[in-house]
Amino acid sequence: MGNETHDQQYSKKLQPYGHSQKHRLKSIMLVILTNLVTIYILTGPLSFLYHSSLGPRDSNSMLQELNSTKAQLAATNSLLSELHHRLNSSNLLVQALLIDLTRQQEKQSNSADQNQVTLKVGSDELTLALGPHKLPFGYSPRIGSAEIHIPVGASCMRFHEELNQYMAYEVGGECPMDDVLAQRLMLKGCEPLPRRRCHPKKNKPGSFDCKNCFDLQGEERSKWIFDDGGLDFGIDQVLATKAAGTIRIGLDIGGGTGTFAARMRERNVIIITSTLNLDGPFNNIIASRGLVPMHISISQRFPFFDNTLDIVHSMDVLSNWIPDTLLEFVLYDVYRVLRPGGLFWLDHFFCFGSQLNKTYVPMLDRIGFNRLRWHVGTKLDSGVHKNVLYISALMEKPMT
């Protein structure tokens, strides 16, 4: 009984809905029937009755409108066809870009995986040295991290075998004799090298291919003492271009045994000398003279803050053996570390005559130094016929 009563109530609710649906259906059928009759009259056997009621002018006007409409439809179809063609082309281009992007992401992912695998199968000491190392007190707001990451040159990851060889030693024991390996890695861009937990040998045999480099009583004794008004500048004449006491600290790039720094110290100017031990123990000699050596290559960003140094000097090292793009980065880095009004002494920069005005003069102009002294002369020890030139220049970083 309960189910029957419920069904009766439900059917009563549906009755108005059914009536409305039937009424709507009748209305639709009436509209369709009316449209069919109209089409039959206009296009069927009785169409002459309709058209005969129209005058010639009305027929012509209607024909023109129909033609115009037909032309517009044709133009619209043409435009839609063109848009459809462009859309298909765009879809193909997007698909190609997505495929290319996916391939690049896969390559990067594979490369990263290979690096991780290589490091894992490398020496445990290398993995331990690279870290990262968790901070003992957790996250530090000052650092913005809970870990310390060791700054190792990105190129180190490309030389896994040599890097693992460099890190192969007995912890707490004596480091292997691998100065040549270490500097080879540095010159390849693996700089700075990771730290090691071993003791360097106290007495290391050196290579002395550099002639007279360590004869401090020979050619080194007279360097930068005299100014010949040409390529050879004197220190006193360079310092005289600035007010007394304003040149206090600087850098000598590739300073050999530190003679330039020694001359400047006699005039109360502190010079840090960057050098490698490629031909002998240059860093050791510099330190033995009571001067400050810095063991970095020309590829590394100078470890000084912006606008801090009064003078930067370089003799022979900055020359055309350095790739142009790298050299320009180095020169911009010199500009960066100099304070406004600081001096850049480019000492005996050598290049071919064809490179002077085509490459190096425009490069130095782009950096933005002001020229205080500028001299160009022939590099005689290379032979006049080779057209190798020296440039000696004293330049200033603008005050503004």
Same-domain pairing of 286 and 326: yes
Distance CA 30, CA 36 (A): 10
The per-residue pLDDT for range 141-151, each reduced to its tens digit, is: 877 888 877 77
Asked, for residue 310, whether it belongs to a domain, the answer is yes
Same-domain pairing of 224 and 312: yes
Same-domain pairing of 129 and 226: no
- Is the peptide bond prior to 45 cis by the omega test (within 30 degrees of 0)? no
Q: Phi and psi (nearest 5°) for 48?
A: -65, -25
Residue 112: the pLDDT is 53
Residue 316: the pLDDT is 84
Higher pLDDT, 214 or 27: 214
Which of these ranges, 57-66, 219-228, 249-258, has the smallest mean pLDDT? Answer: 57-66
Q: Is the pLDDT of residue 206 over 60?
A: no
The per-residue pLDDT for range 41-70, each reduced to its tens digit, is: 545 554 444 444 555 566 677 777 777 777
Same-domain pairing of 305 and 235: yes
Asked, for residue 291, whether it belongs to a domain, the answer is yes
Asked, for residue 37, whether it belongs to a domain, the answer is no
The per-residue pLDDT for range 266-317, each reduced to its tens digit, is: 999 999 999 988 778 899 999 999 999 999 988 889 999 999 999 999 998 8
Same-domain pairing of 183 and 245: no
CB atoms within 10 A of CB 273: 26
Residue 368 vs residues 73, 130, 283: alpha-carbon distances, Å: 64, 39, 32
Distance CA 161, CA 165 (A): 6
Residue 116: the pLDDT is 46
Asked, for residue 231, whether it belongs to a domain, the answer is yes
The per-residue pLDDT for range 91-138, each reduced to its tens digit, is: 777 777 777 777 777 666 655 554 443 434 346 788 787 777 888 788
Residue 352: the pLDDT is 92
Domain stops at, among 149, 165, 188: 188
Residue 287: the pLDDT is 95
**Across residues 227-242, what is the average pLDDT?**
96
Asked, for residue 137, whether it belongs to a domain, the answer is yes
- Rg from Cα positions in the chain: 42
CB 118 within 8 A of CB 160: yes
Same-domain pairing of 368 and 245: yes
Residue 61: the pLDDT is 76
Residue 18 vs residues 5, 6, 14, 209: alpha-carbon distances, Å: 20, 18, 6, 109
Same-domain pairing of 311 and 271: yes
**Across residues 226-253, what is the average pLDDT?**
96
Structure tokens at 133: 């190392």
State the residue for tokens 């192969």: 168
Asked, for residue 15, whether it belongs to a domain, the answer is no
| 157 secondary structure, DSSP code | G
Query: Which percentage of the chain shows pLDDT scores above 90?
Result: 40
Instruction: Find residue 292's DSSP bridge partners.
Output: 272
Same-domain pairing of 169 and 253: no
Residue 13: the pLDDT is 45
Structure tokens at 92: 């193909």
Domain stops at, among 140, 166, 188: 188
Domain containing residue 167: 124-188
CB 391 within 8 A of CB 371: no
CATH number at residue 309: 3.40.50.150
Residue 188: the pLDDT is 83
Asked, for residue 321, whether it belongs to a domain, the answer is yes
| 53 secondary structure, DSSP code | T
pTM (predicted TM-score): 0.64
Q: How close are the terminal C-alpha atoms of the chain, in Å? A: 101
Asked, for residue 234, whether it belongs to a domain, the answer is yes
Structure tokens at 112: 């990263």
Residue 346 DSSP SS3: strand
**Across residues 347-362, what is the average pLDDT?**
94
The β-bridge relationship of strands 338-352 and 370-378 is unpaired
Same-domain pairing of 258 and 301: yes
When divided into structural domains, the chain yields a total of 2
Query: C-alpha angle with apex 324: 321 to 328, nearest 5 degrees?
Result: 115
The per-residue pLDDT for range 303-337, each reduced to its tens digit, is: 999 999 999 999 988 999 899 998 999 999 999 99
**Across residues 232-245, what is the average pLDDT?**
96
Same-domain pairing of 162 and 262: no
Same-domain pairing of 183 and 232: no
Distance CA 201, CA 177 (A): 7
The per-residue pLDDT for range 172-181, each reduced to its tens digit, is: 999 998 888 8
CB atoms within 10 A of CB 372: 15
Which of these ranges, 35-39, 61-65, 185-189, has the smallest mean pLDDT? Answer: 35-39
Strand runs labelled E in 36-138: 133-134
Residue 382: the pLDDT is 62
Residue 11 banded pLDDT, cuts 50, 70, 90 = very low
Domain stops at, among 168, 188, 208: 188
Same-domain pairing of 230 and 354: yes
